[in-house]
Structure 1
Amino acid sequence: MTQFEKHQYWTAIVNQQQNSGISIPQFCKQNDINYANFHYWMKKIEQTDNEQIAHQVVINESSILNDEIVIIHLPNGIRAELPASLTLIQIQT
């Protein structure tokens, strides 16, 4: 099983537990799942989900410094330089 397949499998298991309405220890016992493995994957899935959250970037006309490029400074330190010929909608996307 590839890492991607494992991630999909455990995502389904974690979702089943959350929808079951029973505690994690009970769910693991009833489904013969190793409790430590369940917690490992639950945290791994949560971490992956958090990494994939998109944050809106607000861009104003004043962000365009000259006729050639647009420079965007993101809060996490990333700096993006884009062609100024892009529309604001393209840049926001």
Structure 2
Amino acid sequence: MKKQQKIKYWKDIFEQQESSALTTIQFCRDNNINPSTFYAWRKRLASEIPPAKKQQVIPFVIHEQAFTQPSMIKLTTLNGYQLDFESTLAHQALAKLLSVL
């Protein structure tokens, strides 16, 4: 097998293992792969494989209503940051605020 074929093969193996939700050892056992070889190739190709960015999309719907008196809205991010703002905040300002999070 040529070098580029080996690299593609191992990249595919790493993707399969990550999407399998199995531990590395269990994945190697199930696929007859020597764990030492798996780890060696992962280390060797670490600089070539960009880190996976897991993103979570959270729907956020703004319903415009007429309020008789302003109330406060609290927004908490997954990182634990909390933002408090008045419910009368213009939706353009809120959109700009959320775009930088």
1:18 counterpart = 2:18: yes
Give the Å deviation of 1:49.
3.2
Give the Å deviation of 1:13.
0.4
Q: What per-residue deviation string (whole Å, max 9, x for no partner) do you get for residues 33-71 of structure 1?
A: 010110011112212236xxxxxxxxxxxxxxxxxxxxx
CA distance in 1, matches of 2:43, 2:23: 16
Q: Spell out the pairing of 1:2-81 with structure 2 (5 A cutoff).
A: 2-49=2-49
Q: What per-residue deviation string (whole Å, max 9, x for no partner) do you get for residues 68-92 of structure 1?
A: xxxxxxxxxxxxxxxxxxxxxxxxx
CA distance in 1, matches of 2:47, 2:39: 12
Give the Å deviation of 1:8.
0.2
TM-score of the aligned structures, taking structure 2 as reference length: 0.47
* Aligned residue pairs, count: 50
Unaligned 5+ runs, structure 2: 51-101
TM-score of the aligned structures, taking structure 1 as reference length: 0.50
CA distance in 1, matches of 2:20, 2:49: 21
**Paired-residue identity, %:** 34
Larger relative CO (CA 8 A, sep 6+): 1 or 2? 1
Larger Rg: 2
- Report what 2:98 is aligned to: none
CA distance in 2, matches of 1:15, 1:9: 10
CA distance in 1, matches of 2:42, 2:19: 14
CA distance in 1, matches of 2:49, 2:28: 22
